[in-house]
Amino acid sequence: MTGEYSSFKVSNVIIILSDAQELRQINEELESLEKQIENLNERKMQLKRKKQCLQENIKAQTLALQSSTDQLDRQDHLWSKELSEKQSSVFGISDLRPLQLSTMNLTLSNKNCILVMPTGGGKSLCFQLPALLSKGVTLVISPLVSLMEDQLFALENLNISAAMLNASSTKEHVKFVHSEMTSTKSDLRLLYVTPEKLAKSKRFMSYLEKMYTQNRLARFAIDEVHCCSQWGHDFRPDYKFLGILKRQFPKAPILGLTATATSSVLNDVKKILQIPDCVILKASFNRANLFYEVRPKPSNAHALVEEIVDLIQTRFRDQSGIVYCLTQKDSEEMARQLQSHGLTAACYHAQMDAKHRSLAHRKWTTNKIQVVVATIAFGMGIDKPNVRFVIHHTISKSMENYYQESGRAGRDDQTAHCIVFRGFADLFRQSTMVFSEQTGQEKLYSMLDYVNDLSTCRRALIARHFGETWKSSDCQEKCDNCQRKTSVTSFNCYSFAKNLINILSKTSKIQRYTGLKLLDAWMAQKPCLQEKKLSRSQCEMIIMQLITNGYLKEDYHFTPYSTISYLIPG
């Protein structure tokens, strides 16, 4: 009996162990399926958002087509003759660009309108010219002081009466402007304010109401109108305050202007501004005179400076341009480096006092210095026509930002160059800054797809992002990929991806890998890279592609001083 009992006990143990092993396998399989479901749900949401954007884009284009069939560009309105005369005598313009006349006819008809036009397409003329024909004042709402200063400087040269109110305005100037707002004898035509001024100054709002009751409020022109939407690439909380404009001033038409807005952003803006039936006019994204180029960023800071200096001193000798940097510290250091190489350059960022910012801006506008080295605080609405180059020291945080920033080149329709340096470390510098934003990481990864693509036409990539179509043959070799004479070689990265994930699977809480540490650990395993003879730059691109495609995932960790991005299997 004892033997039988022992045999029975052993067999039960074997059964239990077998069941336990099967249970572990089931748990592992369930865990794997859960991860797959999570990834599929995430992909499902991405596709749903893309589907919605495409549907809304088709709807917007259909509305734009209907608007054009309504003859918005007619020249037999009551104001048409005077509009044409002022266009020539005041602005010195013989021919308008597409959609400019349609936009002006709409706002002069007191209709609400949103114009989407590329940077440099001439959006500001669409409210400046009508302002000369309208009774009263056009209130222009802009997000940046530099933008307003630039337009005021240009209007002064044209002898057009315009003013600006911002946080640095003196009491005397504020008093003067308030008087001009309500004086029937005033010749003030354009008044520039920030959205913060509307949101935080009850006194200004009271004068605005007086102006409205006197029928002296001609229209609201909201520049960079995409800032209203949390889904936009440059959301600003004070822009949401603009939702009260239609409630408080129902008869004043709203003209919204932007260079970059998807259909979902435009729909959001319409809801916020309470103009559901406004006409949306959308121009093509393409700027035929711009040459797009991506360069690998040297890992050595000195080598990068030398390359940028060489570009400015040779290809862009004595030509005006902008160098965009990620941080204030970067912009200050780059400006010093350019100056040390004999170039006339000035720094521009938000923490500089207003006087020094304005001085740098004015010197650059009047060609007293060649280069402005700036953060993104510089540029929205900049109207300098002869900018021959825009160089990005660091990748932008989104395609919308890059399109807008690079579009500050070549506003005179002459050839200009848009160059961005693709840096591996910059991915993680940017991602730790944008991951908390709605769609921040998704937008950054779209920018990575742009800079890492070595074969597709740059214009086709931009068009795809903004829901348009583009034939590479139409580029006419105006980008590095279309101009490249050598073919791009493709190869399977499966073994590399497997090797990288194996490295990460051995990590622990004590040892975790940042992007740079993973790159170093991978390159230390030379046998796995020798077959393809990959350079460090190519290895960086492989890791970035694995991240954007979800095979590697960024995992963020907070310290008292910074946010760190670690990589884990995706």
> Cα dist. 123→222, 332, 438, 500 in Å?
11, 31, 28, 48
Predicted confidence at residue 189, as pLDDT, reads 96
What is the mean predicted confidence (pLDDT) over 534-554? 90
Burial of 435 (0-12, 13-18, 19+ CB in 10 A): middle
Q: How confident is the model at residue 429 (pLDDT cuts 50, 70, 90)?
A: very high
| Residue at 177: amino acid letter | V
Q: Which of 35, 50, 123, 197 is catalytic?
A: 123
Whether the predicted pLDDT of 83 surpasses 70: yes
Q: Are 547 and 427 in contact, with CB atoms under 8 Å apart?
A: yes
Tell me how many helices (H) and strands (E) the chain has: 22, 15
Q: Which of 165, 134, 144 is nearest to 252 (CA)?
A: 134
123 is catalytic: yes
d(Cα 512, Cα 490) in Å, to the nearest integer?
Answer: 31
**Where do the DSSP E strands lie in 247-306?**
254-258, 279-282, 290-296
- Asked whether the whole model's pTM tops 0.95, one would answer no
R_g over Cα of the chain: 28
125 or 26, which is more confident:
125
Residue 565 β-bridge partners: 556
Predicted confidence at residue 69, as pLDDT, reads 41
What mean pLDDT is reported for the chain? 86
Encode burial over 145-183: b for 16+ CB neighbours within 10 A, e otherwise.
Answer: bbbbbbbbbbbeeeebbbbbbbeebeeeebeebbebbee
Q: How confident is the model at residue 54 (pLDDT cuts 50, 70, 90)?
A: low
**pLDDT tens per residue across span 215-271:** 999 999 999 898 888 766 667 778 888 999 999 999 999 999 998 777 778 888 999
Which of the given ranges, 140-154, 296-310, 548-562, has the highest pLDDT on average?
A: 296-310
d(Cα 567, Cα 512) in Å, to the nearest integer?
Answer: 8
DSSP reduced 3-state for 137: strand
**pLDDT tens per residue across span 511-522:** 889 999 999 988
**pLDDT tens per residue across span 430-469:** 999 988 887 889 889 999 999 999 989 999 999 888 777 7
- Percent of the chain at pLDDT exceeding 90: 48
Whether the predicted pLDDT of 48 surpasses 90: no
Whether the predicted pLDDT of 18 surpasses 70: no
**pLDDT tens per residue across span 104-135:** 999 999 999 999 988 777 899 999 999 999 98
For 162, list phi and psi in degrees, rounded to 5: -145, 155
Whether the predicted pLDDT of 392 surpasses 90: yes
Q: How confident is the model at residue 485 (pLDDT cuts 50, 70, 90)?
A: confident
DSSP string, 30-50: HHHHHHHHHHHHHHHHHHHHH
Tokens coding 483: 């101009």
d(Cα 441, Cα 439) in Å, to the nearest integer?
Answer: 6
Predicted confidence at residue 85, as pLDDT, reads 95
- Percent of the chain at pLDDT exceeding 70: 89
Whether the predicted pLDDT of 7 surpasses 60: no
Whether the predicted pLDDT of 101 surpasses 80: yes
Least confident among 209-223, 326-340, 467-481: 467-481
